[in-house]
Amino acid sequence: MLDETQDIHPLFHGAPSSTEFKKLRKRIIRETRDAIERYGMIERGAKWLVCLSGGKDSYTLLAALTELQWRGVLPVEILACNLDQGQPGFPATVLPEFLTKMRVPHRIEYQDTYSIVMDKVPQGRTYCALCSRLRRGNLYRIAREEGCSALVLGHHRDDILETFFLNLFHGGKLATMPPKLLNDEGDLFVYRPLAHVSEADCEAFSRALKYPIIPCDLCGSQDGLQRQAIKRLLDEWETRAPGRRQKIFSALMNARPSHLLDPDLFDFAGLTRAMENQSQD
């Protein structure tokens, strides 16, 4: 994307001219494009429902996808969508005004899932699981109504790492958020184009462009969440050994089923020695 005023998308108006910011922007765009290409997300002429919560990650996602679309390397239609879940005090006018000003096609949907979560979840339990299921169900519906082929989410590298360790420590499985997923009904993809982008880069990017951040006060108001504990653990590791997060993330892209323990992924029983193979010839 060119940076002359007449050629720049409104999402990038007022971007810092510093070398540091230019490097940050270039890195985010490169890593987003790499993920899109690596995991085969592009269907030419498709329409994507890009989910916008008002957090730093979803703003970064929207900006990165818009720039790639602007450059002509992302041949899809983008529809931004915010699901207002009825949280008390939610600034309902912020995102519609921002998206209109930025000339971004969008849909704002109101569904009071907040009351359902507060009614169904016992006191002291975390809201995230039910809140997420209700949100995802509504977003699937909206995607179908809008003729979209994919739901596009702003989860970044650190979300993927934290989910991996949550599954490892609490779920007893090696699994995380995949960058590309087909829903249970088989009619919608779920994409995470920021899969290679760090949370720190998302924060620095959205702060530099002064996007109007809306905090999530529902789950963010609860203390002791397991995800927060994992985040602190990763922070400690990163402090003691800078680059640890990226090393772990690289390992997730370099799995060796023959060196794990799952016979459904590797045929251990079928392994034979060379001597046995020769005797059968």
Condensed to tens digits (0 to 9), the pLDDT of residues 111-162 reads 877 777 776 666 666 666 777 778 888 899 999 999 999 999 999 999 999 9
68 within 8 A of 36, measured Cβ to Cβ: yes
Average pLDDT, the chain: 89
The closest of 132, 111, 129 to 121, measured between CA atoms, is 129
Which is it for strands 189-191 and 180-182: parallel, antiparallel or unpaired? antiparallel
* Amino acid 125: pLDDT: 64
Is the confidence at residue 254, as pLDDT, over 70? yes
Which residue did the predictor score with more confidence, 1 or 91? 91
3-state helix, strand, coil in the chain (%, to 5): 45, 10, 45
78 within 8 A of 69, measured Cβ to Cβ: yes
Domain ranges of the chain: 16-221
* Amino acid 147: pLDDT: 97
Q: Is the model's pTM score more than 0.75?
A: yes
Here the tokens at position 266 are: 């590797």
What does the pLDDT average to over 102-110?
95
- Assigned fold of 16-221: Rossmann fold (3.40.50)
* Amino acid 76: pLDDT: 96
Here the tokens at position 4 are: 């002359």
Give the Cβ contact number of residue 58 at 10 Å.
26
